[in-house]
Amino acid sequence: MANSRQELVSRIYDGIRDGSLAAGDGDRLPSEREIASALGASRTAVREALIVLDTLGYIEARGREGLYLRRLSEENLNRSLDFYSSWPTSMLPQVFQVRILLESEAAGLAANHRTEEDMQRMGYCIQSMIRIHAERPVDWNTQGSNINDLFHRLVIEASHNEVLLRIHEGLLRIIKKASATFGVESMITPLDQWEERVIKGHRIIMEAIEKMDEKVSRDLMRRHLAITAAKLNAFYIERIEHGFSVPSDGLPPRPAARPR
């Protein structure tokens, strides 16, 4: 089974490219159940990976008709999955500032352009958050991080602005890379705070978008991400103060030089 959603997305993507996940009917792909069986993954994990591929424009879900491959050039297919930034880790706070600006405006656009399908996908994320909180699986923080990322991606998708989607993807790559460098690879919100911070925080954003309230959607997203940015920045500073220097070259953290 895939160790992460990104790995599963890549496996499905590779299967589409090499034909191992072909349904033998032109651009039509196997069903969610068939893909899960072929890859030895859960249907829930496969569903999330397919949503990502659909959001990125690689496949198209046509309701009862099934899943279909979108015909894009090889260059376009490789661009999103293979883009890993080499920006300095020390730029993380500035990158997150840009994310706040981008996602808050995207939430406003989503309120104006969202479809019923967009809302159903966001609703799926909220239900997944509720499930994780209730079941408390061992890897709750990793599952939560994946669902959190997916929700924010879907808000961008609901803006129906392809440029925003591509920029957002690049920003998340940078944030993930820098966060991993400092040991933040999962949810930083404790499980006992999920009901208020995670579940309610995302639900009210979804409800504002559903009501097509541009201003409230924008403000709620800005407030939500500002809290996350403050927590990440505090952790970032704490790591530095406890003996880890900020790498400017993308290399793993190294002990800071101590005064002699």
Domains of the chain, residue spans:
5-78, 84-241
What separation in angstroms does the CA of 166 have from each of 75, 156, 162, 241? Answer: 14, 10, 6, 34
Per-residue pLDDT at 213: 97
For residue 194 the two structure tokens come to 């999920």
Per-residue pLDDT at 247: 40
**pLDDT exceeds cutoff 50 at 11:** yes
Per-residue pLDDT at 81: 43
Phi, psi of 3 (to 5 degrees): -80, -15
Per-residue pLDDT at 19: 76
At 1, the pLDDT band (50, 70, 90 cuts) reads very low
Q: What torsion, rounded to 10 degrees, do the Cα atoms 135, 141, 145, 151 define? A: 20
Question: Where is pLDDT greater, at 187 or 209?
Answer: 209
Per-residue pLDDT at 216: 97
CATH number assigned to the domain with residue range 84-241, chosen from the 4 options 3.20.20.140, 1.20.120.530, 1.10.357.10, 1.10.760.10: 1.20.120.530
Alpha carbons 81 and 38: distance in angstroms, whole number:
22
Mean pLDDT score across all residues of the chain: 77
User: What fold is seen in the domain 5-78?
Assistant: Arc Repressor Mutant, subunit A (1.10.10)
Using alpha carbons, select from 170, 122, 174, 176 the residue that is nearest to residue 150.
Answer: 122
Q: What is the pTM of this model?
A: 0.62
Query: 133 with 198: CB under 8 angstroms?
Result: yes
What DSSP state is assigned to residue 65?
G
**Among 62-76, 127-141, 219-233, 242-256, the least confident range:** 242-256
| pLDDT tens string 138-178 | 988 888 888 988 999 999 999 999 888 888 887 777 777 66
Listed in sequence order, the DSSP H helices in 87-189 are 92-113, 116-135, 140-158, 162-181
Using alpha carbons, select from 232, 214, 110, 139 the residue that is nearest to residue 178.
Answer: 232
Question: Where is pLDDT greater, at 149 or 13?
Answer: 149
Question: Where is pLDDT greater, at 10 or 150?
Answer: 150
